[in-house]
Structure 1
Amino acid sequence: MKRILITGANSYIGTSFEKWMQQFGDNYQIDTMDMHGDQWKEKDFSQYDSVFHVAGIAHADVSKVSEETKQLYYKVNCDLAVETAEKYKNDLNGKNGQFIFMSSIIIYGEETNINKKRVITSETLPNPSNFYGDSKWKAEQKLTPLKSETFKIVFIRPPMIYGEGSKGNYQLLVKIANWTPVFPNIKNERSMLNIYRLCDFIKLRVDFSDSGVFLPQDPVFQRTSFMVKEIAASKGKKVYLFSGLNLIIYLLGYFPGRIGRLINKAFGSLIIEQGVD
C-alpha cells in the first residue's frame, strides 16, 4: 500500500486527486493536512511514501496588488513549500520519500501573441513575468538542493487545468460561453490539461517513485473558440463561431495597452512541445 499525504486542504487539485484515488481502494492511503497555522509542524511525515504539496495561492489578477500581497505569494508559494519539504526530509531521517510540488507553466512567463505561436520546449528556460510565476520558480530553485538518492523531488509544471469545478482562466471561458451567442473563430492553439488526466499523471509519478521536472498536457492542443462552443453545448446552449472579423482581431493584437493584452491573452497560441517531460 502506498501512503500519500496531500499538504493543502480544500484545494481544487488536492481534493480532485483524493476523490479520484478512491477507485483504487486499499492500494493507497490518502491523507490531507491543513497547512494554515503551525499545527502541521507537529505531525510525523515519516509514515508517508509521498507528500503531494498543493498548498498555495492560485493565479489571479496580478496587475494591481499591494506589496504586502506580493510578499504573501512568496511566503505561501515558496517559503511554505520549502518548509514542508525540509520537515518531510528530516522526519524521514534517511528513509526513502518523494516530494511532489505543484508548480506551473507560468514560470516560463505568461506572454502570448495572437500573431506568433509560442512553443515551450525542453530547452526553454524559466523566465517569470510576474510575482506569481516568480514565487513558483523560486520555490523550485530552493527545493532542488534537497534532492538526494533517497529523497526524490517531482516538479509538475501544468498548463491551464480544466474540468468539473475548475477555477481560474477556465471559469472565464465558462462565463463567456454563458453570455455570448457568437464568438470569433481564431485558429489558435493552447496546451491544456484535464483534471482527471492530471490525477492519473500524479498517481503514475507515485507508482514509479519518480524524480524530475514534468510538463503534462492533453494529447491534443485546444482552440479557444472550440472550447467556448463545447462549454456552451454542455449547458444546452449554442454559440456560433464567425471568422468575418478575424483580420480586425489580429490587428488589435498589435495595439498597446489593455485591448492588446486581452486579445493576445484570449487568442494567443501557447503550447508545450509534444513529448517534453
Structure 2
Amino acid sequence: MKKILITGKSSYIGHQFEGWLNQSNNNYYVDKISVRDDLWKSENFNEHDTVLHLAGIAHVSRDPKMEDLYYQVNRDLTIDLARKAKADGVRQFIFMSSIIVYGDSSTEKQIINRETVPQPSNFYGDSKLKAEKGINELADETFKVVVIRPPMIYGKGSKGNYPKLATVAQKLPIFPDIDNQRSMLHIDNLCEFIKLMIDNNETGLFFPQNSEYTKTSEMVRLVGEVHGKNVRLTRLFNPFIKPFIGRLEFLNKLFGNLVYDQEMSKYNKNYQIVNLKQSINATESVK
C-alpha cells in the first residue's frame, strides 16, 4: 500500500486526487495536513512513501506588498517541507510548480520545449522556479523529487479563469473568434498523471497537458453547447482586440498563446484519459 501525505487541506487538487485514488482501488492511504502555521514541523512524515506538496499561493498578484509572502510560502515553505520529508525518510517528494515559470502568454504562437529557458515575468513564477531549484538540490537515490509544471488546470469546482469563461459562455450570444492556442490540463488527466508518478516512483521534471491544444473561442462554444446555448463565434471584433493582446492583461489571459510541445508531455503510460470535449462535458455537468 502506498501512503501519501498531501499538504494543503483545502487544496482543490488534493481533494480531487484523494477522490480519484478512492475510485481506483484500495492500494492507497491518504493523509492531509495544513501548513498554514508551524504545527506541521512536529508531525512525523516517516510513515509516508510520498509527500504531495500542493499548499501555496496559487493566484498571480503584481502587488509589490505581496512579494515577500510569495517567496515565504511558495519557495521557503516548499524547501523546508522537502528537507523535513527527506530527514524523516520519505522516499518521494512531488511539487506542483507551474507553466508560469516561462512567463506570461504571448501574441505569438511560441511553443515551449525542453530547451526553452524559464523566464518568469512576476514573483509568482519566480518563487515557483526558486522552489524547484531548492528542492532539486536535495534529490538523490534515496529521495526522489518530482517537479510538475502544469498549464492551466480546470475541472468541476475549479477556480481561476475557467469558471469565468464558463459564465461568459452561458450569457453572451456571440464571442470573438481569435485564433490562439493554450495548453490546458483537466483535473482527471492531472490526477491520473500524479498517480502514475507515485506508482512508478518517478523522479524528474514533467509537463503534463491535455492531448490537444485549446482555442479559447472553441472552448467557450463547447461550454455553451453543454448548457444548450448556441454561442456564435465572430471575427468582427478581431481588428479591435488583436492589437491589445499582450498589452492588456485580461485580453492576454483570454486570447494569448501559451503551449507546451506535445512531445515533452508524453509519458510511457497514458494519463490523457479525457479529451477536450469530454472534459468540458464532465466539468459542466449538473451531477
Judge same fold: TM > 0.5, yes or no: yes
- 1:199 aligned partner, one-letter code: C
Secondary structure of 1:137's partner? helix
SS in 2 for 1:275: helix
Q: Which residue pairs with 1:17 in the alignment? A: 17
Is the alpha carbon distance of 1:36 and 1:250 closer, same or farther for their aligned partners in structure 2, counting shifts above 3 Å?
Answer: closer
Deviation at 1:231, TM superposition (A): 1.6
- Does the C-alpha gap of structure 1 residues 72 and 156 become closer, same or farther in structure 2, counting only changes over 3 Å? same
- Superposed, which structure 2 residues align to 1:27-46 within 5 Å? 27-46=27-46
Unaligned runs of 5+ in 2: 266-287
Match of 1:72 in 2: 69
Partner-residue secondary structure (3-state), 1:276: helix
- Residue correspondence of structure 1 range 49-60 to structure 2 within 5 A: 49-60=49-60
Q: 1:266 aligns with which of 254, 258, 262?
A: 254
Secondary structure class of the residue paired with 1:190: coil
- More divergent stretch after superposition (132-141 vs 244-253): 244-253
- Using the size of structure 1 for normalisation, the TM-score is 0.91
User: How far apart are residue 107 of structure 1 and its match?
Assistant: 0.6
In the aligned structure 2, how far is the partner of 1:201 from the partner of 1:118?
A: 25
Does 37-46 or 120-129 show the bigger shift? 37-46
2-side partners of 1:78 and 1:171: how far apart? 28
In 2, Cα distance between the equivalents of 1:19 and 1:125?
35
Contact 2:102 2:119 in 1 (8 A): yes
Contact 2:105–2:257 at 8 Å: present in 1 too?
no
Q: Deviations over 1:4-42 (max 9, x none)?
A: 111111111111101111012321111111112121111
Q: Provide the C-alpha distance between the structure 1 equivalents of 2:25 and 2:106, rounded to a whole number of angstroms.
A: 42
1:200 to 170, 188, 192: 192
Residue 236 of structure 1: aligned partner: 228
| Whole-angstrom distance in 2 between the partners of 1:245 and 1:42 | 58
Shift of 1:171: 2.2
Q: Aligned residue for 2:176?
A: 184
The answer to whether the aligner puts 1:221 opposite 2:243 as a matched pair is no
RMSD: 1.5
The alpha carbon displacement at 1:245 in A equals 2.8
Between the aligned partners of 2:144 and 2:56, the Cα distance in structure 1 is 21
CA distance in 1, matches of 2:33, 2:245: 44
Counterpart contact for 2:120–2:126, Cα < 8 Å: yes
Code of the residue aligned with 1:152 in structure 2: it is K
Any conservation in 1 of the 2:151–2:183 contact (CA below 8 Å)?
yes
- How many residue pairs get aligned? The number is 265
**CA pair 247-48 structure 1, distance change in 2 beyond 3 A:** same
Residue 259 of structure 2: SS of its match in structure 1?
strand
The percent of aligned pairs where both chains have the same amino acid is: 48
**Is 2:87 the counterpart of 1:90?**
yes
Is the Cα contact below 8 Å between 1:112 and 1:265 reproduced in 2?
A: no
**Aligned equivalents of 1:178, 1:124: Cα separation in 2:** 37
Task: Please name the residue that 2:99 is paired with.
Answer: 105
| Structure 2 counterpart SS, 1:264 | helix
Which secondary structure does the structure 2 equivalent of 1:171 belong to? Answer: helix
Amino acid paired to 1:89: K
TM-score, normalized by length of structure 2?
Answer: 0.88
